[in-house]
Structure 1
Amino acid sequence: MTTPQLATPFGDPASAQRLERAAAALTAHGFTVEILDDAGAARTRVGELLPEGASVFTAASETLRLSGIDEDINAGGRYQAIKPRVLAMDRGTDADDIRRVLAGPDVIVGSVAALTETGSLVIASGSGSQLPAYAGGAARAIWIVGAQKVVPDLGTALRRVDEHCLPLESARTQQAYGWPSSVNRLLILNAEHLPGRGTVLLLREAIGF
């Protein structure tokens, strides 16, 4: 599956200085941050961070798909993968069970729409299915973030969602499902009060939307 790439500044990787500034701000806000070279390094690191046998929910993410992390978790057999389990359930009769399973995994792995140099994570969602686990339902959360997602502040982050992420995601969902996407819910994480709960793997390369 291919999606169009937009020629906007929001697709350009941030400089090393800006990555360091964002990492320092996130660390000051209680997140664990590692700056890695590329998606391959992130793929290896996620495998090291996830306990074998843990229940793991992979949020919808081009970053996870392109890096191979989604396939590692959902088809590798090392974990209790939430996504295949939910896809096999009936969305009518099992709706309450699906909601509970998605809200409280051991670990949720995903990405963000933007990361500010002031230390906030911004997640946009159409359905909101990943947001309860991100916000606190999961015991641990791991976000893999490409360098192009780093922006100066929250206002710029919201512009990135509307001007960059939404058109790309809409093109993807139109191709995959036959309808455009929409930003129905936004989650902004400004701090993590539980030490070790939230880990950000910040890449020096651009990947995903």
Structure 2
Amino acid sequence: MQAVVRLGATAEYVVGSVHAVTEEGHLVIASASGSQLAPYASGARKVVWVAGAQKVVPDLETALRRVRSYSLPREHRRLQESGQSSFIGKILIVEREALPERATGP
């Protein structure tokens, strides 16, 4: 029974974006609720992240600054159109995958 519940609660695949990628290969993803972070971190069997060249930054400090000064203000403005606001509640930093074949990018 537990296996059936796990199958229903865990995604086999997850596709998403990251807010920044460091030149060393760290991925930085910010979220208000953190709902998408669990499958990114370890819940999904396979993860595909999409990131354009504009998201590549020199280091982790610059990546976190990009999240706060670039990504968050744009998300906040987008949500204001529907009367909501945004904030950073949780940040996931992926340094390395334990299973290298689990996570890929285009």
TM-score normalised by structure 2 residue count: 0.90
- Name the Cα RMSD after superposition: 1.3
Give the match for residue 188 of structure 1. 93
Residues 41-190 of structure 1 mapped to structure 2, 5 A cutoff: 101=9, 104-175=10-81, 177-190=82-95
Return the letter of the residue paired with 1:156: T
- SS of the equivalent of 1:157 reads helix
Where do 5+ consecutive residues of structure 2 fail to align? none
Quote the residue 1:54 is aligned against: none
Aligned equivalents of 1:172, 1:143: Cα separation in 2:
22
User: CA offset at residue 195 of structure 1?
Assistant: 2.7
Q: When the two structures are aligned, how many residues end up with a matched partner?
A: 100
- C-alpha distance in structure 2 between counterparts of 1:174 and 1:200, whole Å: 31
- Give 3-state SS (helix, strand or coil) of 2:48's partner: strand
What percentage of residue pairs aligned between the two structures are identical? 52
Q: Which runs of 4+ in 1 moved over 3 A?
A: none
The alignment's TM-score, normalised by the length of structure 1, stands at 0.46
Secondary structure at 2:105's aligned position in 1?
Answer: strand
Larger gyration radius, structure 1 or structure 2: 1
Q: How far does residue 107 in structure 1 lie from its aligned partner after superposition? A: 0.5
SS of aligned partner of 1:167: helix
Counterpart CA distance in 2 for 1:141 and 1:126 is: 20
Residue of 98, 103, 106 corresponding to 1:198:
103
5+ unaligned residues in a row in structure 1: which ranges?
1-96, 202-209
